Amino acid sequence: MYFKWYFNWIIVVVFLMSCQQKDKTKNFFNNPSTLQLKYAKHFGIQEKEKIKYLFVTENFKDTSWIKLDKHYQKIAALGTIPVFQMYLLNSLEYLVAIDDIRYYCLDSIYKLYSAKKIIEVQPNLQWNYELLLFADPDILITYSNLKENTQLQHILMNHQIQHLVYLDYLEETPLARAEWIKAIGALIGKDSLANQIFEDIEKRYIELKQITENTTNRPNVLTEVMYGDVWYIAGKNSYIAQLISDAGGKYIFDFHDYNNSRPYSFEYVLKYAQDADVWINFHQFRSLQELQTAFSKYRLFKPFQTQRCFNNNKIQNQFGFNDYYESGICLPYKILEDLIKILHPELLPNKKEFYYYYQLPEK
Amino acid sequence: MKKWFVNTYFILFLLLLFSAMDVFVGSISLFENTYSVNTILLEIRIPKTLTAVASGGILALCGLVLQIIFRNPLAGPYVLGISSAACLFTAIGIMSIGVFYLEFWSQFQTTTLSVIGAFVGLLIILLVLKITEQITVILLVGLLLSQLYSAILGILSYLSTEQSLKLYTLWTMGSIQNTTLYQALFLVIVSGLAFLIMLRYIKFLMSYLVGDELPQLMGMKSSKLKKQLLVIVAVLVGIVTAYCGPIAFVGMSIPILVRVLQSDANIKKWIVHSFLYGSLSLTLTDVINQIFFNGSVPLNILISIWGVPLMIWVFIKYLRVV
């Protein structure tokens, strides 16, 4: 009897707790003071007591907040995407540090680097805390939260360096990733310019998307190659799946109901994708010959035989890093234009050159 | 004996010299006055040097004890699977940070997991020790277990996201610079304690070196003392692994080097020298890294590159029964 009474209470308490949590997860996006973003889900800007805050959230439960009570003018941005977005905002003079110069394709970065305006603080993936202190940034932008790095957290706290975790890679659509330029704009106080640039990107993207909207002929598209023994396949809610469908193609694995990449075997991919029409994104490979040397069974795919293989590394820097993952992610309409040209060349008769893609030559 | 003291003082002098160099050499010159010297020294250089001295010493000591207990120069934290188990547990922690991340717990998360991992690794070895006393079998089992742990890690990395995978890969390269001043001081205290504790076991280790029976004849409970030592080693390895990641080379090679150079079996001398040589090796590596590579080469890579050829040369030159 006592036990039952007790048990009921536990159920009630658990129920209440679960309710409370649900409310918590929703409040900051439904809050009327939140700046409405069109696509991005992992960041936002909210006004509390007349002070604006930029918030970033990974799992929609915990958020980290950055106070926007001043314009950040010394930014350490460890990543190609925030740096390129600063370039788009014409604000590279605020950049004081990057991770490793070898990752960048942008010429302006090399100029600033040789003029000693910016320094590397994570060369070879090794932190150089001395140079980080020397650069003396107001804000550090990194891709991961680095909570486990106690020394870094200690330095950030002691020197009042804000930390923005750049989670653009969690966004599911190209436009959502591009919308992160608004976060950079908010930091350096160029909100309206950022909005303007994003509207332009959006307009161009949607115009291109409309071209393919009514096509009934949708070629099957296979993406990526094996990494070791594993083929990482992006789900239907992923960035690449969205791009392919916007470009008027059919992503072969659009029945995979997840948004990240998961590992599968070669045979699994062969089973579904043997008769694909087009194959894109081959990482470092630059010819069909190279591809076949790496793994001879790639030739079993139809696109290999018909030579409908396109890679996105047309523009690389001298260290082999790909501009696709720098300017491409920030300006997704360029990628979309390339993909439409690949899948439906008849729809873009005036386009002669690709931005990032090229057809893999035989040798 | 006199020669030994001269040697020891010389190494101590070298250690102090390189530690001082490590403090004074870096990406930023201390004399150009570009940034607050105090900050650079207190927040970055001194913690780094202290970590190098303490963790190098601890690892070499642990290696020495394991080699004596297992009567085999191949024994070391890495070979017995203790380091790998600590790594596995830490990796589980790092990869699941997003899943069960708690603010107050984060400071201790990796340390605790790493020590637990080292314990689990050691417990398994102790279980094997119960079944068989044959050292070769235990070493083989240790090696196999190491591979098993790496395999489990492989499965984990296969399932994990790119971001956490990168974090983990970085961590496995070993690093002495990711400690705060307090953590470094903690490591120094731990290393001092380790040194003192090991000195207490000299009598046992000395008699154990002669044969299994001698400790018992001398009235010591051999298996109990052995287990105590192994538990101490597991805790020490766990702590160092948590702060610095798995550091290669030092744990196995330094004790061998000491025993080759110091031919008379005097455990006290071995303990002192192992500690000093271990500290020296890590400090020197960091000095080389700072001077020639601007601090940008991962610790494990650099230490193997200069350390392994040197060790091979020493072994060939002083070829004796190790």
pLDDT digits (tens, 9 = 90+) for A310-360: 999 999 999 989 999 999 999 999 999 999 999 999 999 888 899 999 999
How far, in Å, CA of B284 to CA of B280, rounded? 6
Contact B19, B46 (CB under 8 A): no
Question: How sure is the predictor about A302, in pLDDT bands with cuts at 50, 70 and 90?
Answer: very high
- Which pLDDT value is given to residue A222? 95
- Which pLDDT value is given to residue A25? 44
Long-range contacts, stretch B217-224, CB < 8 angstroms, 24+ apart = none
- Interchain contact, A260 vs B161, CB within 8 Å: yes
DSSP bridge partners of A216: none
Average pLDDT over residues A195-224: 94
Q: Judging by DSSP bridges, how do beta strands A95-98 and A162-165 pair with one another?
A: unpaired
Would you say residue A179 has pLDDT above 90? yes
> Which chain B residues touch A152 with a CB distance below 8 Å?
178
Residue A56 host element (H or E): strand A51-57
Q: What residues 82-121 of chain B have any CB closer than 8 A to a CB of chain A?
A: 93-94, 97-98, 101, 106-107, 109-110
> Percent of chain B, pLDDT > 90?
23
The values of phi and psi at residue B76, to 5°, are: -170, 165
Q: Which of A62, A127, A159 sits opposite B177 (nearest CB)?
A: A127
Compute the C-alpha angle A151/B171/A56, nearest 5°. Answer: 60
Contact A331, A170 (CB under 8 A): no
Would you say residue B272 has pLDDT above 80? yes
The values of phi and psi at residue B83, to 5°, are: -60, -45
pLDDT in tens, B92-147: 776 665 544 454 555 567 778 888 888 888 888 888 878 887 778 888 888 898 88
How long, in residues, is chain A?
363
Would you say residue A89 has pLDDT above 90? yes
The string of DSSP codes covering B260-322 is HH--S--HHHHHHHHHHHHHHHHHHHHHHHHHHHTT-S-HHHHHHHHHHHHHHHHHHHT-S--
Would you say residue B159 has pLDDT above 80? no
Residue to mutate among B166, B180, B285, B299, with most A CBs inside 10 A, is: B180
A2 compared with A299, residue with greater pLDDT: A299
B43 Cβ under 8 Å from any chain A Cβ: yes
- Interchain contact, A130 vs B26, CB within 8 Å: yes
The domain segmentation of chain A, as residue ranges, is 31-200, 215-359
Across chain B, mean pLDDT equals: 83
Average pLDDT over residues B275-291: 93
Domains A31-200 and A215-359 share a fold: yes
- Interchain contact, B106 vs A124, CB within 8 Å: no
Q: Which two tokens stand for residue B290?
A: 């700072």
The string of DSSP codes covering A18-31 is HHHHHHHHHHHHH-
Element counts in chain A: helices (H) and strands (E): 14, 15
How far, in Å, CA of B117 to CA of B86, rounded? 4
B118 compared with B168, residue with greater pLDDT: B118
Compute the C-alpha angle B215/B219/B223, nearest 5°. Answer: 55
B134 Cβ under 8 Å from any chain A Cβ: no
Average pLDDT over residues B157-169: 67
How far, in Å, CA of A310 to CA of A219, rounded? 14
Question: How sure is the predictor about B322, in pLDDT bands with cuts at 50, 70 and 90?
Answer: very low
How far, in Å, CA of B9 to CA of B272, rounded? 11
Question: How sure is the predictor about B34, in pLDDT bands with cuts at 50, 70 and 90?
Answer: low
Question: How sure is the predictor about A151, in pLDDT bands with cuts at 50, 70 and 90?
Answer: confident
- Interchain contact, A128 vs B109, CB within 8 Å: no
How far, in Å, CA of B74 to CA of A166, rounded? 46
Per CATH, the number for A31-200 is: 3.40.50.1980
- Which pLDDT value is given to residue B42? 86
Highest-confidence segment of A83-92, B220-229, B285-294: A83-92
pLDDT in tens, B249-263: 888 889 988 888 877
- Which pLDDT value is given to residue A255? 93
Q: If you ran DSSP here, which 8-state letter would residue A35 be given? A: P
> Which chain B residues touch A160 with a CB distance below 8 Å?
none
Average pLDDT over residues A127-134: 90
How far, in Å, CA of B196 to CA of B256, rounded? 21
Would you say residue B285 has pLDDT above 60? yes
**Ramachandran region of residue A113, left (φ > 0), alpha (ψ -120 to 50) or beta?**
alpha
Q: How close, in Å, is residue B93 to chain A by CA atoms?
A: 9
How long, in residues, is chain B?
322
- Give the nearest chain B residue to A126 (CA atoms): B296
Rg (alpha carbons) of chain A, rounded to whole number: 23
- Which pLDDT value is given to residue B319? 67
Check if the interface score ipTM surpasses 0.90. Answer: no
- Which pLDDT value is given to residue A287? 92
Q: Map out the domains of chain B with their CATH numbers.
A: 50-317 (1.10.3470.10)
- Which pLDDT value is given to residue B248? 78
- Give the nearest chain A residue to B157 (CA atoms): A263
The values of phi and psi at residue A40, to 5°, are: -70, 140
DSSP bridge partners of A358: A311
Would you say residue B215 has pLDDT above 70? yes
Q: What are the residues of chain A with a beta carbon less than 8 Å away from any beta carbon of chain B?
A: 58-59, 62, 123-131, 133-134, 136, 143-145, 147-152, 154-155, 158-159, 230, 260, 263
> Which chain B residues touch A131 with a CB distance below 8 Å?
27-28
Q: If you ran DSSP here, which 8-state letter would residue A316 be given? A: B
Average pLDDT over residues A24-35: 56
- Which pLDDT value is given to residue A6? 53
> Which chain A residues touch B107 with a CB distance below 8 Å?
150
Angle between helix B162-172 and helix B82-95 axes, rounded to 10 deg = 150
Would you say residue A17 has pLDDT above 70? no
Would you say residue A10 has pLDDT above 70? no
Residue to mutate among B38, B44, B291, with most A CBs inside 10 A, is: B44
How far, in Å, CA of B107 to CA of B102, rounded? 10
> Percent of chain A, pLDDT > 70?
90
- Interchain contact, A59 vs B298, CB within 8 Å: no
Q: How far is CA B52 from CA A130, A253, A316, B180, B294, in A?
A: 17, 50, 39, 13, 17
With H, G, I as helix, E, B as strand and everything else as coil, classify residue B90.
Answer: helix
How far, in Å, CA of A292 to CA of A306, rounded? 14
Fold of A215-359: Rossmann fold (3.40.50)
Question: How sure is the predictor about B88, in pLDDT bands with cuts at 50, 70 and 90?
Answer: confident
